[in-house]
Amino acid sequence: MTLTTRLQAELGDLAAAGLTRRRRVLASPCGRRVNVDGQALLNFASNDYLGLAGDPELAAALADGARQWGAGSGASHLVSGHLEPHAALEDELAAFTGFARALTFSTGYLANLAVTPALAGRGAAVFADRLNHASLIDAMQLAKANGADIRRYPHLDMAALADQLAASDATTKLIVSDTVFSMDGDLAPLPQLLQLAERFDAWLILDDAHGFGVLGAQGRGSLAHCGLPASERILLMGTLGKAAGVGGAFVAGSATAIEYLLHKGRAYVFTTAAPPAIACALRHSLRRIAAGDELRRQLFANIARLRAGAAGLPWQLAPSTTAIQPLIVGANADAVALATALWQRGLWVPAIRPPTVPAGTARLRLSLSAAHTAEDIDALLAALKELA
């Protein structure tokens, strides 16, 4: 069997298991209504929680930034690619989240790959929620390659985490968790996580990709939502391509932790800085987020409307209070069939299957936005009830 035929055989296995994936091509900006593969659809697939991705003001800020600062940064931040818009954005992100400093990254995946391996080497131990995002899992594996001990605790099980921490004699301990879990929409118990970090003198690494801009006063994120301070033992990652509507990510923390990450975070040190125009657009986005209480009220009204209207459906909504509303279907083929039937009715709702979610829990991931109207939610509910 040749190398190519081996790959073809594996692709055939994926197809037989109902796990084939397909990229869709949009012929319109991201928004509540999109043109996809030649079809007009109501969009419940994106993470554009505040409806800012297609916002004309953000597009204008991006264009103005490109005219002033050019198309690219030219190098990594530590060589010659750290321009004034990058520096200003980092200062504003730190102030917005309440931390002393922040570093920006091109993606959330890169940000997560930078943090855990930088802090966890030989003699360290990493304690990670079993349902963490793939980027956190990959970061954990890099730490393992550095010699760190790796432990995964059952999802949200604080008693199990406490037992693992108590049993560890590691010189450095890291607790790593999503704040809002991307496929279930549930929230980590942040107060208990911080208490355990303090009790066992551990770092607390938090991925707030789906909380930043949505939760807390002025959209400041999950820590603000829980009334928690910007502790020196916390490193907070937030992405800027979801609620912020643009792209990139940041890590916020104490001045010392960020300085250490600047020197030791390989995914920061060895990659070209994002275009400065992105930072220009994000500075405008931060102001929109801070003033976006009405957008967040609309988003949470949409969430309540969906959950109230879904009562009686044969598929169960997971217990989420966030913009991520998973409709658990079960079998891979059934989830794909339901997503296809919705597509045929002008509704784009992606089917999520293993390995993204556990086997037997294939689901539709309903992603709600402040841009959705009450009529949009009702149209989705009507289609689901018809198909039920």
State the catalytic residues. Answer: 182, 210, 242
> Tokens 């966890």 label which residue?
120
Rounded to the nearest 10 degrees, how much is the dihedral formed by the CA atoms of 164, 256, 91, 55? -30
Q: Is the Cβ–Cβ distance between 328 and 363 less than 8 Å? A: yes
DSSP assignment of 58-99 equals HHHHHHHHHHHH-S---SBTTTT---HHHHHHHHHHHHHHT-
224: part of which helix (H) or strand (E)? helix 222-225
SS3 content of the chain, % helix, strand, coil (to 5): 45, 20, 40
Rounded-to-integer distance, Cα 189 and Cα 134, Å: 20
Q: 347 with 378: CB under 8 angstroms? A: no
Q: Which two tokens stand for residue 244?
A: 């912020």
| CA–CA–CA angle 250, 255, 260 (5° rounding) | 75
